[in-house]
Amino acid sequence: MFEKFKTFEYRLAGRPLVIETGKMAQLANGSCLVRYGDTAVLCTATASARPRDGIDFLPLSVDFEERLYSVGHIPGSFNKREGRPTENAILSSRVIDRSIRPLFPKDLRNDVSLVLTVMSVEQDCVPEIAAMLGASIALSISDIPWSGPISGLHAGLINGDIVINPTQAQRAESTLELTVASSANKVVMIEAGASEVADDDMFEAIMAIDAENKRLCEFINGIVAEIGKPKFDYPSGEVDEYLYNEVRDMVIDDVRLALDTDDKNVRDARLQPIIDRVYEKYEYEYPDQHALFDEILYKVQKEIVREWLLVEGKRVDGRRLDQIRPLAAEVALLPRTHGSGMFTRGQTQVLTTCTLGPIDEQQLLDGIDEVQYKRYMHHYNMPGYATGEAKSPRIPGRREIGHGALAERSLLPVLPTVEEFPYAIRCVSEVISSNGSTSQASVCGSTLALMDAGVPIKAPVAGISCGLITEGERWMTMIDIQGLEDFYGDMDFKVAGTNKGITSIQMDIKIDGLTPEIIKEALRTTHEARKYIINDIMLECIPGPRDEISQYAPKMITMKIEVDKIRDVIGTGGKVIQKIVADTGAKIDVEEDGTIYISAVDRDSGIAAQKIIESIVFEPEVGTVYTGKVTRIIPIGAFVEFAPGKEGLVHISKLANYRVEKVEDIVEVGDSLEVKFLGVDEKGRMNLSHKDTLPQDPDAQPQPERRPRSSGESGGSAPSGRRGGSDDYRRRPRRENN
């Protein structure tokens, strides 16, 4: 039945990599099942038969589909089925998209869809790597035009050693989480999160993955040689050369003049009449073809910008290649937020707020990895007005989610542990003006907001972007690229980090890859730039985290109790903890290990809740003396509350070191009394003694006075100066009970 079924095997980082083809999804243009250890991902590549009309880009979609059955889970949603992609699925899709997109023909307009379905997961063999390899293989063996293959792998850094595709245990120890995709010749994608890793160590890790990627590309080429299909022909989406030259000659001088400014508003205002003139001239000959002329005008602008950079060494705004735009940093802009910071770089401006909350407000995750909660959340929003566009706000797309996750990854290594700072933390970056590298401006703005909120970060983090222009073997990099240099350049190499080292990298390219020399230069350039931003701009604005958090932020108290006392604090049906919350106004979270987090805007409320919990779990020690209050009296003794919620009986025989006829002779309700804890009897009663706190030698000091009896009581008053009468009375034998 499966005559075309074939398997191909490779040993990857000590684990078997098995590629199965010819058995599943045979109606797709290309498909394979990738097995890496016990991880299995079905990878399919499909293309439309005809190009999509009226577009000037490649309509490529990459979908990393998580299935919770792959880890033996049932979805937690009401419908009990997978819904919107998780953040991890979106980020995985973006990483794979950025790895394969540069190698498609620039004039291809057919829809191309990559669907990568995760069907089984072994945590030591991450499915994202299996999916990236599967996407490359499915495209390579298909008839879809593509100049791959590529290979993508992870690397970790453990005690200074580079580990390719680390296991789950190794990932927990690693100070680096690096993904690199490479073709047979060059690096095509880099994504990294790191705990302040040095530039040289990062470069070495990139090159180590690149070397293994090249070997995997040879393996994939062997598969293509055996079962690959010929690539199909397609109608080119390239603009007609005659029409392009005609429009170019008409507008190029005006476009050159329009672009020559550092103000995006001025530039857009200058370009609009040119665009309108082109539309008007060709309206009757090419009706409803605005996309065609938009592409022509895009190519004209690209030609001018690249010519300025490569020939004249000139940037659009007149800066040197190594010069950063004017910078500004501000904090405490919003009085009621827990922290706020605004970072401005030229016409890019990001305002970030920081909100602190109790630990139970951390994000609950329902995905295929073993991470269940996220304590630090970073969200990124970019409304239309940020780019001067008249469009309504919409739900976050893949770009917004990706940029938020990049800023989050950049800052995670410097955040305090939950033990050091027991808060859930949310930063929201509002892009209020955009002209290039807003994701890295959000890193800077978030650092400012965190410090303004009093979060004791280990070091400030700054981000910067490096661009690239190439022509044949010639290339040059530039720091702090603005919008036009991003649109018309060949690379956006984003690096964030501290003075000590790198915390994140994200590299996007539009060419077929980068050489080691370009990567090393980009790391060097961004290193110098981020040190300048941190030391000369951000720390001049706020020299460190504030000593105290905002008056509007909840005050946190952390305490630890024995695990077997948790049920006492919670109570049947939660009655005890609910009463504490109602009485104090504090919010209380109890962890399984006995850690308790108490949060309250009013610190006194938190302390009150803490004292109540301490009283509930308090265990007195035998032989210890406590000071308590008499709560009630019975004929045989007095009950004393010697700790909150802890009450014991002082028997009449334990009230004094002499015989006591009546309890009221010694104490009354409300009296303060020192007692020694004697232990718990067989019935669970706590026994106390006042006598054992008194001097045992009667001649050591005078005996205390007996409490005077009220008139009408039998027995008269006790002799003045001594409690309990004469020495003869104290020595009388005890009367036997009949």
Q: Does the pLDDT value for residue 735 go beyond 70? A: no
Q: What pLDDT does residue 733 have?
A: 36
More confident residue, 685 or 428: 428
Q: What is the layout of strands, in order, in the sheet containing 60-66?
A: 6-12, 15-21, 30-36, 39-51, 110-120, 60-66
Closest CA to 431 of 496, 380, 478, 467: 380
Q: Does the pLDDT value for residue 317 go beyond 60? A: yes
More confident residue, 449 or 626: 449
Helix (H), strand (E) counts: the chain: 16, 29
- Kindly report, residue by residue over 542-565, the tens digit of the pLDDT: 999 999 999 999 999 999 999 988
Q: Is 700 exposed, middle or buried (0-12, 13-18, 19+ CB in 10 A)?
A: exposed
Residue given tokens 């993955």 in the structure block:
209
DSSP class of residue 125 equals: B
Share of the chain above pLDDT 70, in %: 94
Q: What pLDDT does residue 697 have?
A: 59
Give Cβ neighbours of residue 425 (< 8 Å, ≥ 6 apart).
354, 355, 356, 357, 375, 376, 377, 415, 450, 455
Distance in angstroms (rounded) separating the CA atoms of residues 127 and 88: 11
What SS3 string covers 589-658?
A: EECCCCEEEEEECCHHHHHHHHHHHHHHHCCCCCCCEEEEEEEEEECCEEEEEEECCEEEEEEHHHCCCC
Distance in angstroms (rounded) separating the CA atoms of residues 415 and 435: 29
Q: What integer best gives the mean pLDDT of the chain? A: 90
Please state whether beta strands 60-66 and 110-120 pair in parallel, antiparallel, or not at all (unpaired): parallel
Q: What pLDDT does residue 729 have?
A: 27
Q: What pLDDT does residue 715 have?
A: 39
Tokens of 131: 């999916």
8 A C-beta contact, residue 719 and residue 712? no
Q: Is 621 exposed, middle or buried (0-12, 13-18, 19+ CB in 10 A)?
A: exposed
Sign for the pseudo-dihedral over CA of 130, 133, 136, 141: negative
Q: Is 280 exposed, middle or buried (0-12, 13-18, 19+ CB in 10 A)?
A: exposed
Closest CA to 632 of 648, 654, 618: 648
Three-point CA angle 301, 303, 305, nearest 5°: 70
Q: Does the pLDDT value for residue 431 go beyond 50? A: yes
- Kindly report, residue by residue over 669-698, the tens digit of the pLDDT: 999 999 999 998 888 889 999 999 998 655
Describe the chain by its helix, strand, coil percentages, rounded to 5: 35, 30, 35
- Domains (ranges, CATH) in the chain? 6-227 (3.30.230.70), 241-312 (1.10.10), 327-541 (3.30.230.70), 555-617 (3.30.1370.10), 625-730 (2.40.50.140)
In what helix (H) or strand (E) does residue 565 lie, and over which residues does it extend? none
Q: Does the pLDDT value for residue 725 go beyond 50? A: no
Mean pLDDT over 344-362 rounds to 94
Distance in angstroms (rounded) separating the CA atoms of residues 676 and 641: 12
State the pLDDT confidence band at 722, using cuts at 50, 70 and 90.
Answer: very low
- Kindly report, residue by residue over 158-207, the tens digit of the pLDDT: 999 999 999 999 999 999 999 999 999 999 999 999 999 999 999 999 99
DSSP string of 381-409, one letter each residue: E--GGGGT---------HHHHHHHHHHHH
Tokens of 218: 């040879």
State the pLDDT confidence band at 647, using cuts at 50, 70 and 90.
Answer: confident
More confident residue, 82 or 119: 119
- Kindly report, residue by residue over 582-608, the tens digit of the pLDDT: 999 999 999 889 999 999 988 889 999
Distance in angstroms (rounded) separating the CA atoms of residues 519 and 530: 17
Min mean pLDDT across 364-378, 409-423, 498-512 is at: 364-378
Please state whether beta strands 373-374 and 363-364 pair in parallel, antiparallel, or not at all (unpaired): antiparallel
- pTM assigned to the model: 0.83
Q: Does the pLDDT value for residue 700 go beyond 80? A: no
Mean pLDDT over 73-85 rounds to 84
- Kindly report, residue by residue over 114-163, the tens digit of the pLDDT: 999 999 999 999 999 999 999 999 999 999 999 999 999 999 999 999 99
Distance in angstroms (rounded) separating the CA atoms of residues 80 and 210: 41
Q: Facing residues of 8 across strands?
A: 19
Q: Does the pLDDT value for residue 738 go beyond 80? A: no
Tokens of 451: 């410090």
Q: What is the layout of strands, in order, in the sheet containing 595-600?
A: 555-560, 595-600, 587-590
Residue given tokens 């030609």 in the structure block:
303
Distance in angstroms (rounded) separating the CA atoms of residues 706 and 461: 72
Q: What pLDDT does residue 712 have?
A: 41
Q: Does the pLDDT value for residue 498 go beyond 90? A: yes
Closest CA to 123 of 165, 94, 74, 89: 165
Q: Is 577 exposed, middle or buried (0-12, 13-18, 19+ CB in 10 A)?
A: buried
State the pLDDT confidence band at 282, using cuts at 50, 70 and 90.
Answer: very high
Closest CA to 649 of 610, 705, 690: 690
Mean pLDDT over 468-484 rounds to 91
Give Cβ neighbours of residue 375 (< 8 Å, ≥ 6 apart).
359, 362, 363, 418, 424, 425
Q: Where are the beta strands (DSSP E) in 217-323?
A: none
Ramachandran category for residue 171: left, alpha or beta (phi over 0 → left; psi -120 to 50 → alpha): alpha
Share of the chain above pLDDT 90, in %: 73
Distance in angstroms (rounded) separating the CA atoms of residues 691 and 283: 107
State the pLDDT confidence band at 731, using cuts at 50, 70 and 90.
Answer: very low
Residue type, 307: E
Buried (b) or exposed (e) across 81-114, using 16+ Cβ within 10 A?
ebeebbbbbbbbbbbbbbbbbbbbbeebbbbbbb
- Kindly report, residue by residue over 15-55, the tens digit of the pLDDT: 999 999 999 999 999 999 999 999 999 999 999 999 998 88
Tokens of 721: 């100066």
